[in-house]
Structure 1
């Protein structure tokens, strides 16, 4: 592609719910990605509340762990204790007035507790498919279409989730979006016989340590220097920080909760902030010229 684009080429970016940090920088980044084409591009995206909707008609969507808790195999003591952990740590995760360092410590503690809570529970992994089927249309509008286009263009998609990898995979398979160009980096269940034994990874992935975990996983960046990054947390914005040979990174943030208090911090971390947008319209419109 040789033509350079302007903001007029992207009508969705002019919507009232779209916030742009620096229009000149944004255009430079978009043009670099478009000029370099699909062979130099990859997508790095969060899953919970990024590929999935943040709410439907005001009702908050479940996270991948929340969906997992719909399994009929899980004992009541697990459900009760998992709920206690959520009620304790989720408010910290989304509180705009708590520092990132404090949040990171809290998320580490949450994931370690979640890891221990899973141990010695009898569980059939086939249950994930059943839960995915009853979860309904959880993906953002347009997600299936953009994944299909990215697959056709052979653009790698890294789904980098602090959630439950087994559930992420089951949801993507259920919606026919788990193509061979999709890689999931997440907390996958470890088994000891027919019982759970926590997570496979020694250091559980949480929202604020993704950049450290990325250094060990995002090898494909060596050959694809441009990144479309999507997330719903300021921690997600740093998913590819510290990775060498990155040329252009376009960061899109989805914001729904604590909008007024969180918007400034989101604007600092993301190139585009979408407030209460439950679609893939903006990333699709940006990428349509090369997909």
Structure 2
């Protein structure tokens, strides 16, 4: 880049649904990323309601766990109990009036309960790609385009999900975007004697402990020189996904997608993210920001 860009170069950032915390800081971050180039960039993104839409025509989309619950092999009792847990804990997760400590405790309880109701169910994993194909329309408009551009530019993408990794992997694979530059860290199913036995990782991943898992992953050893990060998420917990590697980063640009409880949640989102997109079911903002890099 021979000259620095300004907000006039990004008309999309002036739209009403786009909220920017600090315009000068944002421009400094973007200009640093552009100056350093794609060889210095990495992507860290959530999956559910981030790479996927938050709603389709006003109807909320299923999470990766929600999609899994549609598998025909699963007993009706599993679907009912999974739904009960969602109805109990999801309001806590998105309540802007609760502290992170209370939310963290609730999310831990949720994941432990979600693992317990899986155990002992006979299950053939061949159904997972089949059920995932039925929900391909859930990907955000532009998600495939963005991941293809990142692949061509050889930019590492970490999909950091508190959902069900098997579904995340199957959806990306079915859409032809599980490229060799994409790494998934999530909760993957464990099997014993043809039955579900919970999750593979001992420490279950939820939306408020992703940063702890990040520190433990060998993945970050391969990111030497990737000092600039574009982060995307849909909860305030997602904004902390790169906290474990902040000492090694130069510029971090955080984009938050907000749909639930907008009026009461916008302030807390603005504290955590550089850009907050209200009811934006596309990837157009990150695509426009990265267009000069990719």
* TM-score, length basis structure 1: 0.98
Match of 1:89 in 2: 89
C-alpha contact 2:136 2:175 (8 A) present in aligned 1: no
C-alpha contact 1:164 1:187 (8 A) present in aligned 2: yes
Q: CA RMSD in A?
A: 0.9
Tell me whether 1:251 sits opposite 2:251 in the alignment: no
- Give me the whole-angstrom Cα distance separating, in 2, the residues matched to 1:198 and 1:19: 40
How far is 1:117 from its partner? 1.1
Structure 1: which 4+ aligned runs deviate by more than 4 Å?
none
C-alpha contact 1:221 1:245 (8 A) present in aligned 2: no
- Give me the whole-angstrom Cα distance separating, in 2, the residues matched to 1:136 and 1:164: 16
C-alpha contact 1:46 1:160 (8 A) present in aligned 2: yes
Bigger mean CA offset, 161-170 vs 235-244: 235-244
How far is 1:176 from its partner? 1.1
C-alpha contact 2:70 2:79 (8 A) present in aligned 1: no
Q: Quick one: which of 222, 225, 231 aligns to 1:223?
A: 225
Bigger mean CA offset, 128-137 vs 198-207: 128-137
* 1:122 match: secondary structure: coil
Match of 1:240 in 2: 242
How far is 1:229 from its partner? 0.1
How far is 1:60 from its partner? 0.1
Tell me whether 1:260 sits opposite 2:263 in the alignment: yes
How far is 1:104 from its partner? 0.4
How far is 1:64 from its partner? 0.3
* 1:146 match: secondary structure: helix
How far is 1:83 from its partner? 1.2
C-alpha contact 1:221 1:246 (8 A) present in aligned 2: no
- Give me the whole-angstrom Cα distance separating, in 1, the residues matched to 2:64 and 2:171: 9
Gaps of 5+ in 1: none
Match of 1:107 in 2: 107
Q: How does 1:43-122 map to 2 (within 5 A)?
A: 43-122=43-122
Q: How does 1:263-282 map to 2 (within 5 A)?
A: 263-282=266-285
How far is 1:17 from its partner? 0.1
Bigger mean CA offset, 107-116 vs 220-229: 220-229
Match of 1:39 in 2: 39
- Give me the whole-angstrom Cα distance separating, in 2, the residues matched to 1:37 and 1:124: 45
Cα shift readout 1:32-59 (whole Å, capped 9, x = no counterpart): 1111011110000000000000001100
How far is 1:290 from its partner? 1.0
How far is 1:125 from its partner? 1.0
How far is 1:221 from its partner? 3.8
C-alpha contact 1:191 1:197 (8 A) present in aligned 2: yes
How far is 1:133 from its partner? 1.2
How far is 1:222 from its partner? 3.2
Cα shift readout 1:100-159 (whole Å, capped 9, x = no counterpart): 110000000000111111111111111111111111411000010010000000000000
Bigger mean CA offset, 149-158 vs 72-81: 72-81
Match of 1:149 in 2: 149
Match of 2:124 in 1: 124
How far is 1:2 from its partner? 3.0
Number of paired residues? 291
How far is 1:197 from its partner? 0.5
